[in-house]
């Protein structure tokens, strides 16, 4: 199978796009197979919305739902778990098996001691992060409680009006 990739210009272009565009949305089973052959994998238990959207047939709402389920502690062990979470037949997701990994992580392995999940951290946890004082920790939790989870670093920075220099220091300690 490796022999035909360099010979076919269309497949060569696709190969290049898959390797260079992390947001390319796969269109078919053939593209999934090529992506898997190139070593592109998506960890179902660590996938972002962008990761899920790479897969054909998944909507933005389904991607967000899967990420939110992971965020609250749901573990996906197989394609049937993903299908059940989305209330769709498992056969529809069968082609995705080539690219999906179902790695198991215990809670200790998921909690990087140098990073804190900004969307679940308490004021006390936030106070352990360098550059976050008690008043900022309280503001982070209060804003999250009133406005909802922080989507990403930019959302966090804008909602709390944190300087670029401070974000440059904090970004190494935060997970979303």
Cβ atoms 70, 119 nearer than 8 A: no
The DSSP H or E segment spanning 174 is strand 174-175
pLDDT in tens, the chain (176 residues): 444 445 578 878 888 888 888 888 999 888 899 888 888 899 999 899 999 999 998 999 999 999 999 888 889 999 999 999 999 999 999 999 999 999 876 555 444 456 888 988 899 889 888 889 999 999 999 999 999 999 888 899 999 999 888 888 888 888 88
Cβ atoms 108, 42 nearer than 8 A: no
**How confident is the model at residue 1, as a pLDDT?**
47
Q: Which two tokens stand for residue 116?
A: 């804190």
**How confident is the model at residue 26, as a pLDDT?**
92
Q: Which two tokens stand for residue 122?
A: 């308490």
Task: Single out the residue of 158, 129, 132 nearest to residue 143, CA to CA.
Answer: 158
The DSSP H or E segment spanning 154 is helix 153-160
**How confident is the model at residue 109, as a pLDDT?**
47
What is the rounded distance in angstroms from the CA atom of residue 51 to the CA atom of residue 159?
A: 25
**How confident is the model at residue 166, as a pLDDT?**
87
Q: Which two tokens stand for residue 82?
A: 């993903």
What is the rounded distance in angstroms from the CA atom of residue 50 to the CA atom of residue 107?
A: 23
Task: Single out the residue of 144, 119, 140, 143 nearest to residue 131, CA to CA.
Answer: 140
């Amino acid at each position: 199978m490796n022999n035909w990739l360099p010979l076919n210009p269309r497949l060569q272009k696709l190969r290049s796009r898959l390797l260079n565009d992390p947001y390319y949305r796969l269109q078919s089973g053939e593209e999934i197979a090529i992506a898997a052959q190139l070593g592109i994998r998506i960890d179902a238990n660590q996938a972002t919305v962008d990761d899920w959207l790479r897969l054909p047939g998944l909507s933005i709402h389904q991607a967000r739902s899967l990420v939110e389920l992971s965020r609250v502690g749901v573990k996906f062990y197989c394609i049937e778990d993903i299908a059940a979470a989305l209330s769709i037949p498992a056969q529809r997701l069968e082609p995705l098996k080539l690219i999906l990994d179902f790695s198991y992580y215990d809670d200790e392995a998921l909690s990087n001691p140098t990073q804190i999940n900004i969307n679940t951290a308490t004021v006390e946890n936030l106070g352990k992060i360098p550059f976050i004082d008690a008043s900022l920790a309280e503001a982070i939790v209060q804003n999250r409680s009133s406005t909802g989870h922080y989507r990403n670093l930019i959302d966090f920075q804008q909602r709390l009006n944190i300087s670029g220099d401070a974000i440059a220091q904090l970004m190494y300690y935060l997970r979303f």
